Structure 1
Amino acid sequence: MTASRGTFHSIWVLVLVSQLGAEVRPQSTTFDYAAMAESTGEMDYNEYVMQCEKKDVRLFLRAFLPAVYAVVCLLGLLGNGLLVLTYLCYKRLRTMTDVYLLNLALADLLFLLTLPFWATSVVHQWLFGRLLCKAVHGVYRLSFFSGMLLLMCISIDRYFSIVQAASAHRHRSRAVHCSKWVAVSVWLISAAFSVPDVLYSDEWGGSGTTQHCRLQQGMQSLIYTASVQLSFGFFLPLIVMVYCYCVVARTLLARTFEKNKAIKVVSAVVLVFLLFQLPYNSMLLLDTIGDANATVTDCSLNKRMALALDITKSLAYVRCCLNPLLYAFIGVKFRNDLRRLLKDMGCMSRDKLPWLDVCKPVASSVRASVVTDTNSTTTYSP
C-alpha cells in the first residue's frame, strides 16, 4: 500500500511539471549532450558562438608593428628633439606659433616614448607591471589629444597672422603671452580626457598565461571614450583646420609674392592630416559601431578589421615624424637657428647643409619688409 502510494505521488508530480512547462525552470541548466546526439543523430553547433582564432593576424603584427614603431620612434625623436633644442638654445618663442610648435614637439616626444613599451608587448607580452600599464596608457592619450588640439591652435594662429595680418602684428606681444595660457589649457584639457585611460587600463591575463595591458571597459564606457576621441581628437581639429586653411589659401591667392609656395605648404598640411588621420579614425568609428551593435560575427571579416585598425593606427603614428618638417623646418628663421645649432654642436659644416640654407634675397623690398616685420614665417609656412 505504501509503495503504491509513493508511485502515485511520483506520477502526480510528473504530470504537474509537464503541465506547467515554461513556468517551472531548474536551478541549473545542464544539457545531456549524449542523449541529444542519440535522438538527433548529430550535433548542431550553429547556435553556439565559436571563438575566432587570430593567430595569423598576431604573427603578422608581431613582425610589422615593431618595425614601424622603431622607424617612427627614431625619426620622430630626431626631428622633434632638434626642434626642442633649437627653441631652448635660441629662445625663439617670439610668436604664437613658436609656443604651439614647442608644445607640439613635447607632445610628440611624450608619445614616442610610449612606443618601445607597445613594441615589446607585441613581440612578447606586457612585462612592466600594472603601474606602468596605467602610466603608458595615460601618457599616450595625453599626448594624442594635446597634439591634435595644438595642430588646431596653429591653424587658428596662421589664420590671424595671414588673414588679419595688421591686427595680429599690433597685438603680437600680447598674443604670445596669451598663447602660453592657451597651451596650458590644452594640456589640462588633454589630461582630463586621459583620465578614463588611467582608470580602466590594467594588466589582463591569469596566472601562467600571457599578460596584456588593455583597457577593461564596459560597452557604455567604450562608446563614450571612442566618441570623445573622435569628436575632440579628429573632427573638431579637422573642421577648424579646413576652414582656417581654406580662408588662408584664398587670401594668399590675392597676393603676388611667394603665392605658389605658400599654397603648396597649406595644401600639404591639410593633405597630410587627412592622409594619416582619416583612415585610422574611420576604422575606429567602424570598430566602435561593430562592438556596440555586435554586427561583426564573421571571423574572416573580424580579422580583417583588426588588421586594418592596427595598420591605420601605425600610419597615423608616422605623422609625428612629419610635424617638424611641415611646421618648423620650412621656416626661414627656424632653418637659420637650426643651422647655427648644428654648427655649434660640430655636427656638420655649412657647405654640407644646403637644405638648411635660407632663400636667396630678392629685390622686392616689400616682401623683405613683410617677413622682417612679422618676425614669423608667414610667407613660407602656413
Structure 2
Amino acid sequence: MSCDKCISNLLPAVLIWFMHFKCCLSQTEDNTTSMDYQYDYSTSPDYDNFPELCVKESNRQFRLWFMPTFYSIICFLGLAGNLLVILTFFYFKRLKTMTDVYLLNLSFADMLFALSLPFWAANSMTEWVMGVVVCKFMHTIYKVSFYSSMFILTFISVERYFVIAKAVSAHRYRSQAVFLSKVSSVAIWALALIFSIPEMKYTTINNHTCTPFTSSSDQLRVSIQTSQIVLAFALPLLIMSVCYSSIVHTLYQARGFERNKAIKVILAVVAVFVVCQVPYNLVLFLNTLVAAQGGTEDCNYENRLLYATDVTQCLAFLRCCLNPFVYAFIGVKFRNDLLKLLKELGCMSQERFFKYTCGRRRSSAATDTETTTTFSP
C-alpha cells in the first residue's frame, strides 16, 4: 500500500512536467517559424543576378515588310523565268546534250522553290496556322530544291570542263551523254531528298513559328548546319573553282572574239554563285558557332545576326530567279529559241525578231557544241 500511494502521489507531478515541456516546445517552434518567414523590407533585392530578356521587336517589325516584299519579287521572277525555260525546252524538244538536261532540271528545282515562297512570306508576317504537315513540307521543299540546285550547278561545271578542256575525251562518250545526264539527274534528286530527311523529321512549330529546330536541339542544329555548309557550299564551290579555272585556262589559249565572250559568261556564272551564296553561308557559319557555344548573352550581337540572316537569306533565295538568265537566256541558241517562241505566241513582231536574231554570229569554236546553251554567248 505504501508503494501504491507513492506512485499515486508522483503521477500528477509527471503529468504537470510533461504538459509544461510540451508548451515550451510549441512556443519554441512558433518563434522559429516566425523568424524563418521574417522579411527585411529595409533592403531592396539585387536584380543584377536575373537574366535580361533580349527584345527583338525591331527585327520583327523589319521582317513584316522586308521578307514579304522580297519573297514576292523573287517568287514572280523565279516562276516567270523558269517557266519560260521549261516551255522553250519542251516546245523545241531541245534535250540533246547533258547541259540541256541539267538546265531543265535546274529550272524545275528553282520553280519548285519559288512556289514555296508564299508560305515563307506568311510565316514571316503572322503566326503559323497551317499545321505541322505544311510546315514540314515547306522546309523540305526548300532543302530539296536547295541541294538539287547546288548539285546540278556542280555537274554543269564538270560537264563543261570535259566538253571544253577535255574535248577529245568527251567526244568519245557523246552518244551516251544524254543518257548519263538523265541517270545522274535522278541520282541528284534522290540525294537531295536523302539530305532533306532532317527537315522532314525535326521541323516543328515553336512559339507559333514554323522552324526546323528548337532551342533544345542545339547540338543537332550544329551538326546539320555544318553538313549543309560543307556539302551544299564548300564542296560545290571547290569543284566549280577547279573546273572553271581549267576552262578559263583552255580558253585563254584559244584566239578570237568568241573566247572573250565565253570567259565573260564564266565570270557571270561564278559571280552569281559567290554573291548569292557566300554572305548567307558566312552568316550561317556564325550562327552555327553561336549555337555550338550554347548561345550568346549579347543582345545587340544576337539582333545583328538576325538582321544579317534575313538579308543574306533573301539574297541566297534570289539565285533561283537569276539562274535562268545566267545559265539559259545568255546562250545564243537558247536565246534565239526563246525569241522564236515569243514570235510564234504573238508576243513579238516579225521585224523585231529578225532585228534580234539576224546578223549574230554563231559560235564555232570550242565554246560551242551542237546545242550548247551555257557557254554560247
TM norm structure 1: 0.85
Shift of 1:369: 7.0
Structure 2 partner of 1:246: 245
- Taking only the aligned residue pairs, the percentage that are identical comes to 41
Q: What is the rounded CA distance, in whole Å, between the counterparts of 1:359 and 1:329 in structure 2?
A: 18
Structure 2 partner of 1:288: 288
Structure 1 partner of 2:236: 237
Structure 2 partner of 1:307: 307
- Give 3-state SS (helix, strand or coil) of 2:76's partner: helix
Instruction: Determine if the alignment matches structure 1 residue 328 to structure 2 residue 341.
Output: no
Q: What is the rounded CA distance, in whole Å, between the counterparts of 1:157 and 1:319 in structure 2?
A: 21
Contact 2:99 2:374 in 1 (8 A): no
- Give 3-state SS (helix, strand or coil) of 2:187's partner: helix
Aligned with residue 215 of structure 1, among 212, 220, 231: 212
Instruction: Determine if the alignment matches structure 1 residue 95 to structure 2 residue 113.
Output: no
Structure 2 partner of 1:22: none
Aligned with residue 47 of structure 1, among 24, 49, 67: 49
TM norm structure 2: 0.86
Gaps of 5+ in 2: 1-16, 30-35
Q: What is the rounded CA distance, in whole Å, between the counterparts of 1:139 and 1:221 in structure 2?
A: 20
- Give 3-state SS (helix, strand or coil) of 2:128's partner: coil
Structure 2 partner of 1:269: 269
CA pair 38-106 structure 1, distance change in 2 beyond 3 A: same
Q: Deviations over 1:52-92 (max 9, x none)?
A: 11111110111011111111111111111100111111111
Q: What is the rounded CA distance, in whole Å, between the counterparts of 2:25 and 2:190 in structure 1?
A: 78
Q: What is the rounded CA distance, in whole Å, between the counterparts of 2:328 and 2:27 in structure 1?
A: 89
CA pair 7-273 structure 1, distance change in 2 beyond 3 A: farther
Contact 1:62 1:122 in 2 (8 A): yes
Q: What is the rounded CA distance, in whole Å, between the counterparts of 2:358 and 2:240 in structure 1?
A: 28
Shift of 1:267: 1.2
Q: Deviations over 1:330-362 (max 9, x none)?
A: 111111221221122222224445895366238
Which AA in structure 1 matches 2:237?
L
Contact 2:259 2:367 in 1 (8 A): no
Which AA in structure 1 matches 2:323?
N
Mean CA deviation greater in 223-232 or 152-161: 223-232
- Superposition RMSD in Å: 2.7
Shift of 1:224: 1.6
Q: What is the rounded CA distance, in whole Å, between the counterparts of 2:262 and 2:70 in structure 1?
A: 31
- Give 3-state SS (helix, strand or coil) of 1:42's partner: coil
- Give 3-state SS (helix, strand or coil) of 1:213's partner: strand
**What are the within-5 Å matches in structure 2 for residues 13-52 of structure 1?**
35=39, 38=41, 41-52=43-54
Structure whose CA Rg is larger: 2
Q: Deviations over 1:83-102 (max 9, x none)?
A: 01111111111111111110
Shift of 1:372: 6.9
Which AA in structure 1 matches 2:190?
L
CA pair 102-358 structure 1, distance change in 2 beyond 3 A: farther
CA pair 379-104 structure 1, distance change in 2 beyond 3 A: closer
How many residue pairs align between the two structures?
A: 353
- Give 3-state SS (helix, strand or coil) of 1:328's partner: helix
Q: What is the rounded CA distance, in whole Å, between the counterparts of 1:159 and 1:182 in structure 2?
A: 16
Instruction: Determine if the alignment matches structure 1 residue 107 to structure 2 residue 116.
Output: no
Which AA in structure 2 matches 1:311?
V
- Give 3-state SS (helix, strand or coil) of 2:47's partner: coil
Contact 1:332 1:358 in 2 (8 A): no
Contact 2:327 2:374 in 1 (8 A): no
CA pair 124-356 structure 1, distance change in 2 beyond 3 A: farther
